[in-house]
Amino acid sequence: MIESVALVRKFLGLQGFKLDDIIEKQGFARNKAIDEAKEAVNENDQTRKRYEVMAREVFIKFKACINVPGVNTQRDGRDGIDIIYKRLQADREQADITDIMRQLHGIVDETIHTHAGVRETRAESNDVYDISKIDFERLRKEFEASTTKRTTVQGLKDAVESKLNRLLMQNPLRTDYQEHYEKLVKEYNQEKDRITIEKTFEALIKLVDGLDKEESRAVRENLTEETLALFDLLRKPDLSKKETDKIKKVAVQLLETLKAESLKISNWRDKEATRDAVKQQIFDFLYEDKTGLPEEDYSDEDIQTLAQSVYWHVYRAYPIVPSPLYT
């Protein structure tokens, strides 16, 4: 246990932070030390993961030694490690893009607005930031002024990853965003200089803008998020507006039919007979002249392939109705 605490101390020291700053300081000085500790740990994904693994080893061994005489000589070290660990977890769980923007704006814009005797800083406003209207030059200056760049990028990464995971679960054809995000993270983890950190921050903000636009695409297409997923699976490139509208209608009516019939069966995924019934209903609907895909644009082979793709999406997204992914 003593060795585990010492290893964490050494790790933090190599990252440029002394654990005793958290143990010995109080008040604002201690809060500042906690921010510095997070900044040290958040150098990249590997350093953060390494710290979390080492911290959990400390907690396990401390608990195992709780009745051993002299264990309390290590309690301060263990508690300091725990404070950093819990703040890192809280940052991940509470990662919010709007909150990150508020904090950055608060660094530069400290103007206090007075209205009806109430003083409020811009950073305390409840406004949600429209990423598409951000002044990137101003944002760059705000980020450059930050003393917690690594922590800000890590928080933004966590927020983007959470949003991206949700969008991917709802629509499997959003992998381009995932690939772009993974490329950004890979480049960030390989380089640690200031310019790379700032470029990654700006690239993440622009990725958020793209995700926001993707999230609102269903409204622009006059669909729901559920029917948009089916529409994306069924459509082909270069279709006319008339043909596109036809595919949208097919997507909407197919989902309505499935929900009203085969997906209403309890635990339908558990039995081969009910799974086959869903597969057949999808194929029949897409193949039928009155309800299905236009034969001049879709061959029998196309319909067979698309019916299978739709089935696997439905299998994943609709264990029950309504789907837990969209409610």
Q: 243 vs 106, which has greater pLDDT? A: 243
pLDDT attached to residue 136: 67
pLDDT attached to residue 92: 87
Tens-digit pLDDT profile for residues 7-52: 999 999 999 999 999 999 999 999 999 999 999 999 999 999 999 9
Least confident among 31-45, 105-119, 183-197, 240-254: 105-119
Arithmetic mean of pLDDT, 169-183 = 93
Mean residue pLDDT across the chain: 88
Tens-digit pLDDT profile for residues 218-272: 999 999 999 999 999 999 998 999 999 999 999 999 999 999 999 999 999 999 9
DSSP per position, 236-264: -TT--HHHHHHHHHHHHHHHHHHHHTGGG
φ and ψ at 236, to 5 degrees? -110, 160
Whether the predicted pLDDT of 120 surpasses 90: no
- What is the DSSP code (8-state) at residue 119? E
Contacts with 151 (C-beta within 8 Å, 6 or more apart), sequence order: 35, 38, 39, 42, 91
Contacts with 75 (C-beta within 8 Å, 6 or more apart), sequence order: 62
Residue linked to tokens 């635990």? 267
pLDDT attached to residue 116: 36
| Tokens (6 digits) for 318 | 């609709």
